[in-house]
Amino acid sequence: MRADNAQPVDRTMDIETMMRALLRDVLVLSQDRVDAFDADTPLFGALPELDSMAVAGLLTEMEDRFGILIEDEDIDGDTFETFGSLVAFARGKTGG
């Protein structure tokens, strides 16, 4: 599901910063709200904006913004548990 126009991750922008922007844009969260996220901030089940449909949108947008391919078997229940687990997943997929 990799987009043809995908750009490699800009290594000058931190993965965590990119993930904050992605969550802000896809879930329509305020910048102040995503800036307050730390590694232990719960996501799925804690953010009303993050439902199963939003997860699909986030995965697609992650592929586009990070220039990665996410297979179904890459995702498990822990991926969207916390902000830290989501950032760790993105780092693992990008090698960052």
In the chain, where the domains are located? 38-95
pTM for this prediction: 0.84
Domain 38-95 has CATH 1.10.1200.10: yes
Question: Residue 86, class by beta-carbon neighbours within 10 Å (0-12 exposed, 13-18 middle, 19+ buried)?
Answer: buried
Structure tokens at 13: 């922008």
Report pLDDT for 82: 97
* Average pLDDT of the segment spanning 54-72: 95
Q: Is the pLDDT of residue 51 over 50?
A: yes
Given a contact cutoff of 8 angstroms between Cβ atoms, the answer to whether 1 and 70 are in contact is yes
